[in-house]
Chains A and B, each alone.
Chain A
């Protein structure tokens, strides 16, 4: 069921405005737990907007809610999320002597989460 996709971490203006208010609030938590995904990929995996998906890397895993993007905006196989507590869960600590952990273009396993309560 799980597929390997490429996860890009980044920033968004909404994240930027929200973190000025608080990093502990619900708004910031929501933004940093949203995963943008190509709509065709979502359809294939049986996902719709707000569905939960589990991302897994050798470093750890995180559950996010997905949001569809058209192919022209986000190619198939590419995922985007903003940096935050959940992206941290997926990042490995090895910096290859650079100080910088790889935080863009991570290979992640993507797996829909069947949630009793949610869609």
Chain B
């Protein structure tokens, strides 16, 4: 937990508490922010520096089965980007999919202290937790894939909505997940069961099931809201990456009907099609998307910005990865998980001269620059899909420095800029406070993490101190100090300690009767025994349950809507 600490003379950005650059002390003791510490407490003189809560990545891919496949398939990207061991810390390798130790240390060296792995198969939960064990510094959680789950489909198909909710709660709890995740609902069944087909609209029939993505999405939004999860259903919409997908995205958001829903990496879902042709090059429809979000407070999103350079497409959306494989050279990985999910991986490179890549870059910036509520349109690159998390400082500079942005716009494919509205939002520059919102306070609020993303008394003592610099990329690349749970992890830009972060997860109540429904399905269609499926506490040496606030009773289930 480290010794008591007083940070003095720094300009504090704590938007959740209305602090906007005021010079004030921040005190830390026993891993928490406190009102005061004894006068002999260690002091950090933060004169000329900016003090913020630790960064929070609401959507990234850093651990678990697909991440490890993506690591393994790219040895050539590791060899030239290495993480040396020190007396205290472990070695590792980088590239767009770093090893676990490198992931933790590198996030920390950017001032991030919390990250959410955004797509884990339930069967892969144990694997993900094993990797988390070896991912230092960060507090972590993961979103569990439920949107292509065949048992849940069966319940939904039969109209057993209450049981669906209990089963969802069961799955969240036994996998130690943080939130439910939908990825391209219905797509996996088309992919695996229908000769590599895909979903093209919310009203497509899902393979042999009497279901549509529309029904699936609506049901999960409802169930998630009823369970009162700290973070609502996290949705990767259908048609990711396709020209004209904006209509699907808008339609998906409308399905929430005023209930909470989070749309993931929305940049990838904001494409128009020239003259209504779906096969044409995409155009930007960022305006329509952001206008909807600006006017619908129930909806939140992370941007999924793109940065030029190497990336790894790594997604539960297997048909998408298959489509992209012809752009990625020779390598393509596909991995199907029984009854639960699919997955695709393709090494990728965004190039500023390529029309589509430049358009994607522009849309990411557009969405952020047109956003009226930074609390609901937060920062991400869908690491490593839109680019590595190591590109965050450059993206922050693009938001904060219009001169730099203009200069960069001159280098990219101009036709793409013609089809975007980026030139119309040239004036806006993000303030430090707004950056603090989209990279920490906003994600914390959207995740329902009340002890994070702010520096009020009682908050987790996750603090980042940056040296002020005109060059915002430089400033955000290497904080002078990073404090995690009250411990000084980075001092004078260097790793000074190792630290094991926490697992953040939920444990919603469910009617135990639901196990009688789930177990027979396991007997028939899984290859792992029902008794061996739940992840036990040994995998969570340092866990924290974030409470839920259900709007309906968890148990006992009524006979309800069973048909």
A contacts B: CB pair < 8 Å: no
